[in-house]
Structure 1
Amino acid sequence: MLPMTMQTTWWVYLLRCNDNSLYTGITTDVSRRLHEHNTSKLGAKYTRAKRPVTLAYQEEALNKSTAASREYQLRKLTKQKKEHLVDLYTKKHQ
């Protein structure tokens, strides 16, 4: 196990696709992942057909396991509940 100062930060994120759908994912580098979704085959198959995508929401997770669990929770939410989460995030970060 890595020392506390060396642990990787994990993120859960929602992307807004050009068709207004929301894509949920996890990563250790949100900026890099957003770039991959928009420009390369490293992005998810889902987002490749819906470019450009923009970051709509992100939250920090303690580790990969909690990030994956939270991703699963967010994926199960209705579109309306995801939009509410995005609205709260947007208001908080303006």
Structure 2
Amino acid sequence: MYFYFVYILKCSDESYYIGITNDLEKRFNEHQSGYKIDSYTYKRRPLTLGFYQEFNDVLQAIYFEKKIKGWTRAKKQALINGDFDMLQILSECRNATHY
């Protein structure tokens, strides 16, 4: 059985990189070593692993990766911090038509 990981890297410029892999340690080392000179993380090293979630189903992992890529910075930060109460608050609809 394969496992898939969705991960968030915290970059040296305080930005976040979100990715998916089936070998988290190898992929993190590739990012950290500058494996691809044209990658987003290359000039933003050093990096730290802020968050990861393991999945058994690649389609669920892809769905989650795409979902969190669309989140605000505050929501990503709450996820990294494990602050699920804040994540819930930040996920609530705040427009005038919400009931």
Unaligned runs of 5+ in 2: 84-99
Q: Which residue of 2 aligns with 1:3?
A: none
Q: Tell me, what secondary structure is at the counterpart of 2:44?
A: coil
- How do residues 17-36 of structure 1 correspond to structure 2 at under 5 angstroms? 17-36=11-30
Letter in 1 for 2:24: V
Higher helix share: 1
TM-score between both structures, scaled by the size of structure 1: 0.81
The RMSD of aligned alpha carbons is: 1.7
Shift in Å at residue 43 of structure 1?
7.7
State how far apart, in whole Å, the 2-side matches of 1:41 and 1:11 are: 19
Shift in Å at residue 44 of structure 1?
6.9
CA contact (8 A) 1:37 1:43 kept: no
Q: 4+ residue stretches of structure 1 with deviation over 3 A? A: none
Question: What are the Cα deviations for residues 21-71 of structure 1, in whole angstroms up to 9, with x where unaligned?
Answer: 111001111111110001133487110110111100000112221111100
TM-score between both structures, scaled by the size of structure 2: 0.77
